[in-house]
Structure 1
C-alpha cells in the first residue's frame, strides 16, 4: 500500500463496500454531515468499526454555507440582466432568487461579487434596499435549487460553529468519531470555538481546519497553531480566490504543515472524471502525483466514492499513482526543511531519520501516547517504515491521516526494556522486520506519557 493516506467519503455508492475500499487502500473515511441523517451516519460508523479498529473516521461539518432555496426548474440568468437576491419564502426565477441567509442584505455592499454554484454564474451588487440586494449578472448561466452562494469579498456576520454544526458536533462526539473537519474557517477564533463545543460535549476530538475562505489566508499561522491539521478544500477556495492562485496556496499550506509536523489533506476533484468514467484523465493523475511530491499527508476522494459509479476503482487508481510516485525516489531520505526552527522533539525526530538512513535500518519504531512522535518522524518522509505503537486505539486512528505511519496496537506499555522486548516479537510476527534487522526507536521516556520525545536508540532484532 502507498504511504500517502487515502480518505474516502462514504455515500450511497460506497456504504455497502467499506471492506473493499479498505482493501483497496483507504485508511480513513469521511462522513459528510451536509448530507444524510444521523441514523445513516451511525450505521456507517458501525460498519467501519465492525471491520477495523485502525481505520479513522472524520466527521465533516457543513459550516456556514450559503445556498439558494427553491428555484423554478429551467431558470437561467442572462448576462447584463438584473436580479434581486433576498431572504424569505418563495420560488426563485430569473428575476428574484431566495438565499437561506437572513443577514444577506446587512452584510453585502455595492460593488461586491456574488458567485453561484462553482462560480460559473457571477453577479455584482448594485445596491441594497431593505432585505433586497439588487445585482447585475456579469456571467450568466443556469441556476437551480440548493446551489451554493459565495461572497468572496464579503465578511459574513455568521458565527462558527453554526447551530446546525453544534447539533452535528454533539452527534459526532457521542458517536466516537476520530477527527472533526471544520468548514469555512476564517481565523483561529473559529477553530477554538469548534474545539470549545467539542469539549462542552465531553470530547477531545482533534479539529481539522478546512482552508476555503479568503479571510483564512490572512491568518494561516494562527490557524495552524491551534488546529490539529489543515485541509486544502480546493472547491470553495477556488471560488473565494482567483483560481490561478490555488496551486500556489496548496503548495504553501502543505509546506507549513510539514514544518510543524501536522497532517495535511488535499481535497476536491482529485478524480472528478471517475464519477462517470472508469479511468481518470492524465491531468488528474498528475494532480495526485504533484500533491504527494509537495508533501501532502493524505488525499481525499469526495463525490468519486460517495456517489460515483466507480468508488473502489477510484481508490485503486489513487493508490497506484501514489505508490508509483513514492517509488520514484523523490521522497527518500530525511527531508531538510528550510527555515525550520527546531525544538527538542523536532530535532530528535530528525536525527532519528538521519540515523536510520545512515545505518540502513529496516524500520523506525515510535512508541507514543499522543501520536506526536510519529507525526514528527513522518514529516521528514523517511524511506524506512514508521511503526507507531500505542495502547490507545484513538491515537492510532488519528494517525490514519498522517503520511507513512503504520499503526500497531499494544497493551504492553511499561518499562522501556519490557516494551522493546514485546515490540520486537510483535514486529517479527507481523513480518515488519526479520531477525538481524536494525531498527531505530525514538520515544519519550518514561514510555506512555504524552509529549516530550527525548530518546533515540538503535537495536538489532533478535
Structure 2
C-alpha cells in the first residue's frame, strides 16, 4: 500500500500488544493528542512504541499534536440555554455576566477586540449561528440565525476572522519542549493562521538543538487563504476537516480538500486528511458505505496520509478500523493506476523536480522493480513521491530524523544506511545488492548525489538504471 495510515493513541490502543497489532496492520505513524494530556501522560506509551519498533524492526514515527488555544465558552448561569431564531443574547468576559441576560461568557479578550458588527459567530460545533448586532467595549450583542441549545464549555468559531491570538500557547511551548526531550519525531500545530505561527514552533525546536517536521493543521479559513505562504515554511499540512467545516460552508469542504491536497502535491509536501474518516467504527465493527467512499476519494484526491482519531483512540474496534482503511486505500490505489494518470508531471519545471519525474518515467517505461533514492534531507524522495509512481520508493538515509519524516510520504519505505562508503552512489548500489527483496537480474532506477572531484557532497544529480 502506498497511502500511509496515522493512528491516534488512546485508552483503546495504548498497551504494547495493541500497538503491535496496529503496526502489523500497516500503521507507521502514531499521534499523541496533547489536548488530552501532557508529556508525563504519554511516557509509558512512547516506551511501548519504541519497544514494538525494536521488536518488529519497522520505523515508527511519533507525532505530537499540540492542543493550541482552546476557544470555548465559559460556564453558563444555567446550562443548557435554549435559543430560538431571532433571539438576542450577550457575549463577553465572565466578569460582565451579572450585568446582562442571557449571557455567553467568553474570556478571549484578544478575539473580542478583533470582532466587529456584522461578523458571524458559531457555537456548539457550528449548530448555532449568530450575527453581531452591537459592540460595547468587551461585550457583544448577538442575534441568533437558527434554533438550538448551548451548554457550558462549548467550542466557538469565528469564520474568516484573523484573530490576534497566538497559535502556540504557553502550554504548547512546554508540551513541545517536553515532547522533544521524550523523543517525538514530528509535531502537528493547531490553530495555524499564518506562516509566522509555524516559525514560532520551529524556533522552540531549534532552541532544543533538534530538527523535526512541523505539520500545519488547516482549521481556519484565514490559513487556507494563505496556504501558499504556509506551505513554504511548513513541512507538511493536515486537512483538519472538523474545525475547517465550521469555518467554511460545508458544501465547499470537499472541493476545498481537493484544492489543498493539489497544492501540497505540487509543492512536494506531505498532506494528511483527518476527522471522521471511519467515525461509525467507534462503536460498529464495520464502516458505512459513505465512509468507505470518503476514504477512497481522499486517496484518489492525492493524499499522502489518512488519519484515524476516535476510531483508534477510544473506539471498540481499533484494529478493524485500520484494516478497513488499508483495504479501502489499496482498492482506491488500484483504480488510480488503472486511470493511467501516473507518474504525474510536476507543475514547476525546474531541474530538481524533473530528476524525480524522470526517475518515475524511466521506472514506468522499463518496468522497474522499485525506485531507490539516496537522500540526506528527504527532499528528493518527496519529489519522487509527489509524482505518484506505481513502484515502491526506497528512501535511503543515514539520518534518523529524515527517515522518520519519510514515513509521511506516499509510497516511501524509509531505510537506514551506514555513512560508509562515503560515495552516495556506492552506498545505494550496496543496498540494492544486499537487499533480499530484489532478485538477481531485476532492474531498478536509482538516484543519488554524485559530487565533482574534490567536493565531499552534492545534491541529487544522478539518475541510473541498475541491474542487480
Using the size of structure 2 for normalisation, the TM-score is 0.91
Structure 2 residue aligned with 1:11: 10
Residues in 1 aligned to 2:388 and 2:340: alpha-carbon distance in whole angstroms: 7
Q: How does 1:62-211 map to 2 (within 5 A)?
A: 62-71=67-76, 72-88=78-94, 95-211=102-218
Say if 1:9 and 1:451 are closer, same or farther in 2 by CA, change over 3 A. farther
Residues in 1 aligned to 2:200 and 2:425: alpha-carbon distance in whole angstroms: 43
- The match for 1:394 among 385, 395, 401 is 401
Report Cα offsets for 1:233-254 as digits up to 9, x if no partner. Answer: 1111111111111111111111
Choose 5-14 or 78-87, whichever is displaced more.
78-87
The SS at the match of 1:103 is helix
The SS at the match of 1:300 is strand
After TM superposition, give the deviation of residue 225 of structure 1 in Å: 0.9
- The match for 1:61 among 63, 66, 69 is 66
The SS at the match of 1:128 is strand
After TM superposition, give the deviation of residue 89 of structure 1 in Å: 6.2
Q: Gaps (5+ residues) in structure 2? A: none
After TM superposition, give the deviation of residue 90 of structure 1 in Å: 9.8
CA contact (8 A) 2:443 2:465 kept: yes
CA contact (8 A) 1:333 1:382 kept: no
The alignment's C-alpha RMSD in Å is 2.4
Structure 1 residue aligned with 2:22: 21
CA contact (8 A) 1:75 1:94 kept: no
The SS at the match of 2:460 is coil
Choose 103-112 or 173-182, whichever is displaced more.
103-112
Structure 2 residue aligned with 1:423: 431
The SS at the match of 1:67 is coil
Say if 1:360 and 1:331 are closer, same or farther in 2 by CA, change over 3 A. same
CA contact (8 A) 1:427 1:433 kept: yes
After TM superposition, give the deviation of residue 422 of structure 1 in Å: 2.8
CA contact (8 A) 2:111 2:164 kept: no
- The match for 1:439 among 436, 444, 450 is 444
Report Cα offsets for 1:112-148 as digits up to 9, x if no partner. Answer: 1111132112122121223322212222223233321
Structure 1 residue aligned with 2:318: 311
Residues in 1 aligned to 2:407 and 2:146: alpha-carbon distance in whole angstroms: 42
Q: How does 1:19-58 map to 2 (within 5 A)?
A: 19-52=20-53, 54-58=59-63
Residues in 1 aligned to 2:457 and 2:151: alpha-carbon distance in whole angstroms: 51
After TM superposition, give the deviation of residue 330 of structure 1 in Å: 3.9
Say if 1:286 and 1:335 are closer, same or farther in 2 by CA, change over 3 A. same
After TM superposition, give the deviation of residue 458 of structure 1 in Å: 1.1
CA contact (8 A) 1:333 1:357 kept: no
CA contact (8 A) 1:7 1:30 kept: yes
CA contact (8 A) 1:356 1:439 kept: yes
After TM superposition, give the deviation of residue 151 of structure 1 in Å: 0.8
The SS at the match of 1:291 is helix
The SS at the match of 2:94 is coil
The SS at the match of 1:439 is strand
Structure 1 residue aligned with 2:258: 251
After TM superposition, give the deviation of residue 446 of structure 1 in Å: 4.7
Choose 446-455 or 62-71, whichever is displaced more.
446-455
CA contact (8 A) 1:266 1:299 kept: yes
Structure 1 residue aligned with 2:246: 239
Residues in 1 aligned to 2:308 and 2:286: alpha-carbon distance in whole angstroms: 15
Structure 1 residue aligned with 2:466: 459
The SS at the match of 1:401 is coil
Residues in 2 aligned to 1:272 and 1:18: alpha-carbon distance in whole angstroms: 20
CA contact (8 A) 1:412 1:418 kept: no
Say whether residues 1:349 and 2:356 are aligned partners. yes
> How many residues are treated as equivalent by the alignment?
456
Residues in 2 aligned to 1:91 and 1:273: alpha-carbon distance in whole angstroms: 39
Choose 447-456 or 110-119, whichever is displaced more.
447-456
Say if 1:195 and 1:422 are closer, same or farther in 2 by CA, change over 3 A. same
The SS at the match of 2:129 is strand
Structure 2 residue aligned with 1:368: 375
Structure 2 residue aligned with 1:409: 416
- The match for 1:284 among 285, 291, 300 is 291
Residues in 2 aligned to 1:316 and 1:225: alpha-carbon distance in whole angstroms: 34
Residues in 1 aligned to 2:272 and 2:339: alpha-carbon distance in whole angstroms: 17
Q: Gaps (5+ residues) in structure 1? A: none
Say if 1:453 and 1:417 are closer, same or farther in 2 by CA, change over 3 A. closer
- The match for 2:308 among 301, 307, 316 is 301
